[in-house]
Structure 1
Amino acid sequence: MKKIILTVAVLLLLLPFKTKAQKSNAKKPNIIFIMSDDHAYQAISAYDDKLLQTPNIDRLAKEGMLFTNASVTNSICAPSRATILTGKHTHINGKVDNYFPFDTTQVTFPQIFKKNGYKTAMFGKLHFGNNPKGVDEFMILPGQGHYINPDFIVTNGDTITKQGYVTDIITDVSLDWLKEEASNDEPFMMMYL
């Protein structure tokens, strides 16, 4: 009887280690973060509104995750992005307006993903006044940017001009990056801003 109790006790003690080992072998999910500016809840039909039909976004929501429980702590462009990236309120992360540069010593969630084996990328409008840290690849607008034939700051720090409409350019670059990364085994996290 004592042997049975001892065996059960040892198995119960080892169970958490087996679970932890199983978790570490689990495939990490790929993450695509899409942020759009200045639209209401009703601008996406995945939220059960019939005002607009957005079948492609609806499909992403159905196959992935629909974010339904959030509040905005700062609705200004760059301060809102800084809050999302750092998880800190504006008065703590220091990005209180669109004019002064973001403090890049702040830890951002892309840096955490990168440390955990993710390939990271960011494309679009960041509006921080400096380059993002903790991403493997980026193409961001300097400030507000232009809608037609915009300039972008790229990963190596150069500024390039792309021909076309800004949203189409950012979308095409993001899709090209995703097509390339989808063929790799490495997990990825891409931000479309």
Structure 2
Amino acid sequence: MRGNVALRGRLAAAHGAWLVLEDEAAFSMTPPHSRTWSRRGHTPVIRVRGRPRRRVSIAALTCYKPGERSRLVYRPRRDDGRRDGHKSFAWTDYRDLLIAAHHQLGGPLVPIWDNLNVHKAADLRKWAAARDWLTIHYLPPYAPDLNPVEGIWSLLRRGWLSNIAFSTPEHLMQRIRRGLRHIQYRSDLIDGCLTETGLTISP
């Protein structure tokens, strides 16, 4: 599979396209844990306000093209906690994310994403087939180690979200945006996430 992704990277470069990899993640009001210092026998306890089921979902694209600075494009979706509320992205959300990336990057896209049902929705496939700037490929059934966006989530959780008691969903979203904006300006971090997968994109 690594060879196949590398081949698609070369084909994308040959056609002047951006190779983009996509993933989604959910972030709740309960912060991820990190190590800290304390007196022996006195474990620090952080009280968190708000209902734990309140969460923010993010869909993100890491975008690579030889000779260009790597990019990160993302879109949030907030879950209001209601039982009848939609907790995941619809096919139209992925459509809008791809359109936004196309406009920002100014060129054709070759997205590679997982086999999530909504990624293979009939309406999304029909819409994609009518776009000459879009060619979609799929990862194996379970291959998070091949997806550099997993590294983006790791950077976010270990850096901007760890050991913070979020007071409101807005506070959580503010920290997420701050972390993602920082990563957007650091193409070396986006490149490093690709390197961690063992994949390369050659001119």
Q: TM > 0.5 between the two? A: no
TM-score under structure 2 length normalisation: 0.29
Which has the greater radius of gyration? 1
> Which protein has greater RCO, CA pairs closer than 8 Å, 6+ apart?
2
